[in-house]
Amino acid sequence: KKKDREEGIEERPVTEEQKARIAELRRVYEAKLAEREILYQSARRKAADVEALDKVEEEYRRDRERIASERDRKIDEARSGKA
């Protein structure tokens, strides 16, 4: 916070509306991650060999990163009042 003040970054408190929006975004993305986990577990059981399993795990990792990144971006937008 001190560094932000030194750099001239203004700190604004989060409104109740923004807090509600952020909480809703977290719930939605938690559900998306849970859904992806279920699909991953199913695909993992069906993987026929090590190569197929590696592919499933890589897709799962990428999907989790994408979903988390999207969630974080939307939360930042909600905090700044853009959403």
* Residue 80 or residue 83, greater confidence: 80
DSSP for 45-70, please give it: HH--SHHHHHHHHHHHHHHHHHHHHH
29: Cβ contacts below 8 Å, ≥ 6 apart: 67, 68, 70, 71, 74
Residue 68 has pLDDT above 90, yes or no: yes
- The pTM score is 0.80
What tens digit of pLDDT does each residue of 22-42 get?
999 999 999 999 999 999 999
